[in-house]
Structure 1
Amino acid sequence: MSSTTRRFPAARRPRRGLAAALAVAVGAAALLASSPPPPARAAGPEQARAQWIDRDTVVWKGAEHSTSQLEFGAHGKRIRLTPGTLSPSERLAYPHLTGYPAFTVDPRDRHLARTALRGRLLATQRTADGGRATTGVQIPGVLDDLYGARARHAALGPVFHHGRPTLSVWAPTARTVALELDGRTVPMRREDSTGIWRATGTRDWAGKPYRYLVTVWAPTVGKTVTNKVTDPYSTALTADSARSLVTDLDDPQLAPPGWSRLTKPAAVPLRRARIQELQIRDFSVEDRTSRHPGRYLAFTDRRSDGMRHLAALARSGTSYVHLLPAFDFATTPERPADQARPGCDLASYAPDSDRQQDCVGKTAGRDAYNWGYDPLHYTVPEGSYTSDPEGTARTVEFRRMVQGLNGAGLRTVMDVVYNHTAASGQDPHSVLDRIVPGYYQRLMDDGGVATSTCCSGTAPEHTMMGKLVADSVVTWAKEYKVDGFRFDLMGHHPKANILAVRKALDALTPEKDGVDGKKIVLYGEGWNFGEAANDARFVQATQRNMAGTGIATFSDRARDAVRGGSPFDGDPRVQGFASGLYTDPNSSKQNGSPAEQRARLLHYQDLIKVGLTGNLADYTFTDTTGHHVKGSQIDYNGAPAGYADAPGDALAYADAHDNETLYDALAYKLPQRTGAADRSRMQVLALGTAALSQGPALSPAGSDLLRSKSLDRNSFDSGDWFNALHWSCADGNGFGRGLPPAADNKDKWPYARPLLADPTLRPGCAAIHQASAAYRDLLRIHATEPAFGLPTTARVQSALSFPLSGKDETPGVITMRLGNLVIILNATPHHQTQTVHALAGERYALHPVQAHGTDRTTRAASYARSSGTFTVPARTVAVYRRG
């Protein structure tokens, strides 16, 4: 398996209602597999092994290559099929079908296609033994061929013209579609060339709730149904997404004061972006200084502890806040009265007790907490974060949130999840699949829905799903002035789809649209796994494929080297560069012998060096074995470490919302005797590997405050108790709030219990303040030094070097020259000297930001001009400047 595949299982968020333990089990199995397992799928009662890929061609897995037919209609009408072959263009469009029997639609029957697609459809043939083979038929390809070219340019959802709304929905396979509005049923008219149904209303429709009544064949239940379903292109919703609302987002009443004149912080190129990732509820739900805890409006509380901290980060060089999903998601009750709360005194239990997780677990499926990776409506703000989920307050308050962040000096990124839906088929949380069954979801060869993403996968390779992605992103950009988008599991999207989003955004102008689309940043998870892996169905938006596009992908290479091991280790004590491997070993036998540790540590240092260059594939340097190599020649679990064409292709991080927080990972990995001050320093050193890299970097909110989730590795459903941010050090950092929830963590409890019970691992204010101040110093250095924003590989090659890299490199220390800077990362528990003979006689001094900073230990770093020797304290990132 590729290394990127192995990044997935423990890093995913299963939707609420799925056992979190299942994701862990899948992850463990994936690690042990010698080749990728068959992707998971949820098959309906009627298998569909035949695929009608365009008006001329049907592919049928397992069929005999003989005369066949498609049967449809109540009286058994037939479309004749004859044995055929795939054309070159068909093989290019459907590479995963090239080995299956293909059939050609009889030209005399092609006119029957549009009628056949609006009911049950079966593929049948007489077999050689005289039997009859029958299967259902997958229809996305032929729908795209017949309707896609014209439908892709149409406006869907509510569109207003001179105050009159038109509601439009794409439902080419429906027998009828009507509009349920204001207690009555309004007929809709079908446009045969596009498959779109429309109804135009009067001005008094504005603000009214509506649903579509779609009568359609539903293969998952094997019958014709009439679904009452909300609009996939909803612009507003009633509480709990029960109805869509006829809403014009350009209505002046939905614009908060100053919205049309909103002044944004200057756009920062992606290659220089420093991003703070946070979840909306986490941010303020336990902030006693916030007037709007847990809501969008918390970002308008300029004097709250949380907003003061974000503003301080912005002044130091953080440029974007990345919000975990804030679109409408499926499983959180939106009305506060319906939200369950733990019914016990959580604070009364011991720090290593299992009582907290047990109590939280009893209400987890009904509480107010959810990361939001279970999308329901892609283009409406989530209602549980608003003061009133019943109407359009969520629109106004989301806009006020953007204003608040912009006012603090921060641009806004949205985490978007177009790769899957919360449900499919006839599930009440299924929207797309109840309107055009079998189209929007990605189907496996037997017709089951692919679930490798954790849930019901979507198919952005299909025209109208790809259109929905682009239309939704453009709406967030235009109507909510969002400044960037992070794509969840972007590798499950075609590269062409993500590039289409980029093109659509680039077309937005301040004069025409009120925003400059070219300044909107895009990045995502370019992992390579599942049914789409290795470009099986299309060219994916994976790490290597996206290089050179200006759209960044998360790089796991340096992350793993910094932390040590992988997120899937059975023993969480496996160490890395910033967690004591070889230089401060713990007692885990999984770390290997001292010789093995030393060799692995030096290899980790090469991975981190590649990361510091921006993960450049063609950057050349001397590795720790003494060989002159490119970044792409450094091994990362069998894959090239360097894959970027230019700085900005790879996004650096040592910590994110997935897996244990950085503090918790270090709690497992550093020797338990390590004191709070040293843990704080190792936290900053780990963060520094990303903060001082070329290209964009991300850290989660609270990481600079030593944030803990009490060792929880997958807190998507762990409630406020384990997730809430603590801005005041008097409230601690979250460590010792009990054993983390059993579903994802019980196998780690034997390691976790003694740590949580140890009071010395709960840092005090001194350690927290030290980490926060030191991290902000690194941000200031990055923001004020142009050498951290080099635009090309050639510029990086010229300006950046590792002068002491080679066979004699110090284990646990990385020395980097960057223009007029020297950066030394000393991860060892001892002070280190690094002599760069070529710099003897040059004037260097500790960077003014650090020389005048609050960290006395870092201020002790020194430089001997006569010899070119830099002396760096233990567990310290020191930046020196020439001059």
Structure 2
Amino acid sequence: MSSTARRPGRRLAAVLVLALGATGLLTAPTAQPAHAAPSAPQPALAQWIDRDTVVWKGAEPSDAQLEFDTGRAGTAGKRLRLTPGRLTPAERAAFPHLSGYPAFTVDPRDRGLARTALRGALVAAQRTADGRRTTTGVQIPGVLDDLYGARARHAALGPVFHHGRPTLSVWAPTARTVALELDGRTVPMRRDDRSGVWRVQGPRDWAGKPYRYLVTVWAPTVGRTVTNKVTDPYSTALTADSARSLVVDLDDPRLAPTGWAGLHKPAAVPLRRARIQELHIRDFSVEDRTSRHPGQYLAFTDRRSDGMRHLKSLAAAGTSYVHLLPAFDGATVPEKRADQDRPRCDLASYAPDSESQQECVTRAAARDAYNWGYDPLHYTVPEGSYASDPEGTARTVEFRRMVQGLNGIGLRTVMDVVYNHTAASGQDPHSVLDRIVPGYYQRLLDDGTVATSTCCSGTAPEHTMMGKLVVDSVVTWAKEYKVDGFRFDLMGHHPKANILAVRKALDALTPARDGVDGKKIILYGEGWNFGEAANDARFVQATQRNMAGTGIATFNDRARDAVRGGGPFDADPRVQGFGSGLFTDPNTSPANGDPAAQRARLLHYQDLLKVGLTGNLADYTFTDTADRRVKGSQVDYNGAPAGYAAAPGDALAYADAHDNETLYDALAYKLPQGTSPTDRARLQVLALATAALSQGPALSQAGSDLLRSKSLDRNSFDSGDWFNALHWDCADGNGFGRGLPPAADNKDKWPYAKPLLADPALRPGCATIRGASAAYRDLLRIHATEPAFGLRTAAAVQSQLSFPLSGKDETPGVLTMRLADLAIVFNATPHPQHQTVAALAGHPYALHPVQAHGADRTTATASYAEATGTFTVPPYTVAVFHRR
């Protein structure tokens, strides 16, 4: 895997949970044999890419044929003749990963059979030179797009109401029949042969009723024709546990909370200035004793709860968005509270370094109320387990009330969306898309198996109708739920064109027509480059470098690794970085190397951080620590260019997020164990400052300002409330010492974790926690009130931002930055540091008034000597000075 591919470990574990049948609460859709298959399932090495062309990996350059049988009289033994051919330039551009395989041309006399052939069992067959007959399955997404995509992409799918009457539509071009199951009866649906869409219009009294589609279709994964009872991929509402879709009009006034139509939103903050708090809905309130709706959407309406008061304080300081981890309908959590399991142990009674907590939590994990939510089932319906009642439309109303509640305290809302994979594929009960159009919505490898590089069953947004689903779903969340931004999970597995299509569709939304201003909606995502799509193998990806200049940000892992040290997948978690003591306060890990190696690596980390502070600009020019004039793109990051952004706003800075250890836990591993709680807190704030005071957007994990710990859990996607819940009341601690983290993803780190968790000195007290939070809010205030942190262009950054002491004599562990009339010193060392900028001698600077009169009295002692241009900064401190 590429060093820049930060694929979270949560996903592999999620696959294992699903494979073990841990979430079987859905009413299992039936698969009734309708026609015996001519052969058992087999690899699909042939790919029918358009009506004219088939590509067949491993075939011989001689005549072949496509054989099909729809199960209807007269189709058995039918065929489409194939002759050796070659891909056109347009076909090679559309399917670059197939350009080296043998190609065949469909005989023009047989092309009229294509639509019929695609609705039955289909194989490619050839006689080899020695007379043997070889066959293989056939992948069909390309030809489906060619035959149906142009018309289907404009179809309105799902329930659509006109004058109170609903029309239900589903795209199922390969289905033999589709019917609607509603009111205990089966209602036939009519097929549009030009688009492959099946429709039925119903009377007004269908509104609110549950339904499913009955889709009779050839299913290659089981090698037979089946009749699947399946929910609507375009569902607007669901019954509990996603058993049925509901015929619901999201514009129904009864679903609008009071004040919804005229909702007053906080002023939109441009992406380049956004300060984002990443938050899991259940974590936020499930252990908040002051919340009246623990673990629910409605917790965000509890204006007096500890959690809401804290969010309000962050908003007042300069946080502009709350990023909600996935809140769409997922496959994992039982939605009815009566069905949810919980740990059946007295977890608090065990020792802080005990294995018992994780054992007990793990036993309940398969059916408890907890999951991060990266297991999509229905992309455009709120998750039911967060609602007061998962049955019906309460989840719709309460999600909207959550948005209202956040807007009401000054925060706009970002939604984490996961269109790159589904929870399952094939005939699995948790598969929706693949049981309606088998083999289309999932990305298939060259042998026909589903790609799983995302951890789960990968989707194919490069296909017309999967790409359409992404755009339509995002637009629905924006219009109907007034979501203000979207974070795309594993965005590098999307085509760049697909993400730009989302941007274009949002930009078209207007307040007058749609109730929202789509141009003010922000977009960002994980631009990692890995898997079967890596290096633009199948399409131009939405990766870090490719998205530069689009106004859509990607996560910047360069500065993250530099401030923390090492990388998320280090075997030894004690590898240090700029903010964790490398060279200046070394720990005992041999992984850090000798002092000379540490010093060299620390100085390189400082160059990475400089690039990060510019907004990770590729063309920003500065003097590096080797005294060379370099561009950001010339600084090395594990063999890749560090700088890749074209403008501020292309890269999103962060020091921690839900994946991997929290920042506090990473520092617990990396700092010498004897580091005092006060110093740990100061370094936490300094690490957060490298993101908070950068150009471009920045994100922090909820609770990081409160020194949040997950007891060293690096992958808490299914670790339950015990390890994940936020503790707004410092009397409850910060989460550290709740036992050894779950074995599945952490056992190899237990030898390092155990002595730390047993050490009471690593559990900070209230004064330390409150002090860190207050100091962080001071940084947010400085960012919010100083225009220089929101420079619009790369040219402005180049002219107004500099590192005057950078070069071969740079102080290890200290960064000094000038930004317009500001001077900022990051002192990550255990000693006071004097930074003399000779060019500023005689110029009047003083500590910024927010810090001079702020919460951190140690920072308030930072000083400036005008005569020499010398800034003096205490240990473990970031100090901002302004020109008087």
| TM-score normalised to structure 1 length | 0.97
Deviation readout 1:799-857 (Å, 9 max, x if unpaired): 00000000000000000000000000000001000000000000000000000101110
**Secondary structure class of the residue paired with 1:545:** coil
1:851 is matched with 852
Deviation readout 1:352-400 (Å, 9 max, x if unpaired): 0000000000010100000000000000000000000000000000000
Counterpart CA distance in 2 for 1:9 and 1:321 is 21
The amino acid across from 1:527 in the alignment is: W
**Secondary structure class of the residue paired with 1:546:** coil
Preserved CA contact (<8 Å) 1:13 1:714: no
1:34 is matched with none
Preserved CA contact (<8 Å) 1:505 1:520: yes
Counterpart CA distance in 2 for 1:344 and 1:287 is 20
The amino acid across from 1:685 in the alignment is: L
Preserved CA contact (<8 Å) 1:495 1:545: yes
| Match 1:56 to one of 39, 52, 61 | 52
The equivalences for 1:129-528 within 5 A come to 129-528=130-529
1:27 is matched with none
Deviation readout 1:273-321 (Å, 9 max, x if unpaired): 0000000000000000000000000000000000000000000000000
Counterpart CA distance in 2 for 1:491 and 1:732 is 38
Report deviation, 1:19.
Answer: 9.0
The amino acid across from 1:509 in the alignment is: T
1:35 is matched with none
The amino acid across from 1:442 in the alignment is: R
| TM-score normalised to structure 2 length | 0.97
Structure 1 residues 12 and 597, CA gap change in structure 2 (3 angstroms): farther
Preserved CA contact (<8 Å) 1:650 1:696: yes
The amino acid across from 2:859 in the alignment is: T
Whether 1:92 aligns to 2:69 is: no
Counterpart CA distance in 2 for 1:429 and 1:55 is 32
Preserved CA contact (<8 Å) 1:16 1:374: no
Report deviation, 1:11.
Answer: 6.7
Report deviation, 1:2.
Answer: 3.3
The equivalences for 1:5-84 within 5 A come to 5=5, 7-10=6-9, 12=11, 14-15=13-14, 17-18=16-17, 45-73=41-69, 74=71, 75-84=76-85
The amino acid across from 1:168 in the alignment is: S
Deviation readout 1:88-113 (Å, 9 max, x if unpaired): 00000000000000000000000000
**Secondary structure class of the residue paired with 1:459:** coil
- Give unmatched runs, 5+ long, in structure 2: 21-39
**Secondary structure class of the residue paired with 2:476:** helix
Counterpart CA distance in 2 for 1:151 and 1:565 is 48
Deviation readout 1:672-699 (Å, 9 max, x if unpaired): 0000000000000000000000000000
Counterpart CA distance in 2 for 1:580 and 1:857 is 19
**Secondary structure class of the residue paired with 1:746:** helix
**Secondary structure class of the residue paired with 1:259:** coil
**Secondary structure class of the residue paired with 1:544:** coil
Deviation readout 1:406-444 (Å, 9 max, x if unpaired): 001000000000000000000000000000000000000
Counterpart CA distance in 2 for 1:870 and 1:594 is 27
Counterpart CA distance in 2 for 1:473 and 1:82 is 43
Counterpart CA distance in 1 for 2:3 and 2:608 is 14
2:29 is matched with none
**Secondary structure class of the residue paired with 1:108:** helix
Preserved CA contact (<8 Å) 1:620 1:630: yes
2:726 is matched with 725
The amino acid across from 2:611 in the alignment is: V
Report how many residues are paired: 860
Counterpart CA distance in 1 for 2:838 and 2:325 is 47
1:110 is matched with 111
Counterpart CA distance in 1 for 2:868 and 2:676 is 34
Counterpart CA distance in 2 for 1:335 and 1:11 is 24
Counterpart CA distance in 2 for 1:144 and 1:809 is 58
Preserved CA contact (<8 Å) 1:20 1:743: no
Preserved CA contact (<8 Å) 1:10 1:567: no
The equivalences for 1:518-557 within 5 A come to 518-557=519-558
The equivalences for 1:740-755 within 5 A come to 740-755=741-756
Deviation readout 1:596-655 (Å, 9 max, x if unpaired): 000000000000000000000000000000000000000000000000000000000000
The amino acid across from 2:670 in the alignment is: K
Counterpart CA distance in 2 for 1:110 and 1:478 is 42
Report deviation, 1:10.
Answer: 3.8
Deviation readout 1:178-224 (Å, 9 max, x if unpaired): 00001110000000000000000000000000000000000000000
The equivalences for 1:751-766 within 5 A come to 751-766=752-767
2:770 is matched with 769
1:30 is matched with none
Report deviation, 1:144.
Answer: 0.2
Counterpart CA distance in 1 for 2:233 and 2:122 is 25
Counterpart CA distance in 1 for 2:868 and 2:10 is 47
1:33 is matched with none
Counterpart CA distance in 1 for 2:728 and 2:757 is 21
Preserved CA contact (<8 Å) 1:14 1:20: no
Report deviation, 1:8.
Answer: 1.8
Preserved CA contact (<8 Å) 2:140 2:439: yes
The amino acid across from 1:64 in the alignment is: E
- Give the percent of matched residue pairs that are identical in Structure 1 and Structure 2: 85
The equivalences for 1:537-686 within 5 A come to 537-686=538-687
Report deviation, 1:9.
Answer: 5.0
2:26 is matched with none
Preserved CA contact (<8 Å) 1:340 1:363: yes
The amino acid across from 1:593 in the alignment is: D
The amino acid across from 2:376 in the alignment is: P
The amino acid across from 2:103 in the alignment is: A
- Give unmatched runs, 5+ long, in structure 1: 22-43
1:24 is matched with none
Report deviation, 1:331.
Answer: 1.0
2:127 is matched with 126
Deviation readout 1:438-482 (Å, 9 max, x if unpaired): 000000000000000000000000000000000000000000000
Counterpart CA distance in 1 for 2:505 and 2:862 is 50
Counterpart CA distance in 2 for 1:45 and 1:365 is 31
Preserved CA contact (<8 Å) 1:19 1:743: no
**Secondary structure class of the residue paired with 2:604:** helix
Whether 1:4 aligns to 2:4 is: yes
Preserved CA contact (<8 Å) 1:299 1:307: yes
Deviates more, 1:711-720 or 1:44-53: 44-53
Report the RMSD for the aligned CA atoms in angstroms.
Answer: 1.0
Deviation readout 1:100-155 (Å, 9 max, x if unpaired): 00000000000000000000000000000110110000000000000000000010
Report deviation, 1:4.
Answer: 1.4
**Secondary structure class of the residue paired with 2:343:** coil
The equivalences for 1:804-815 within 5 A come to 804-815=805-816
Preserved CA contact (<8 Å) 2:11 2:456: no
Preserved CA contact (<8 Å) 2:8 2:659: no
The amino acid across from 2:638 in the alignment is: N
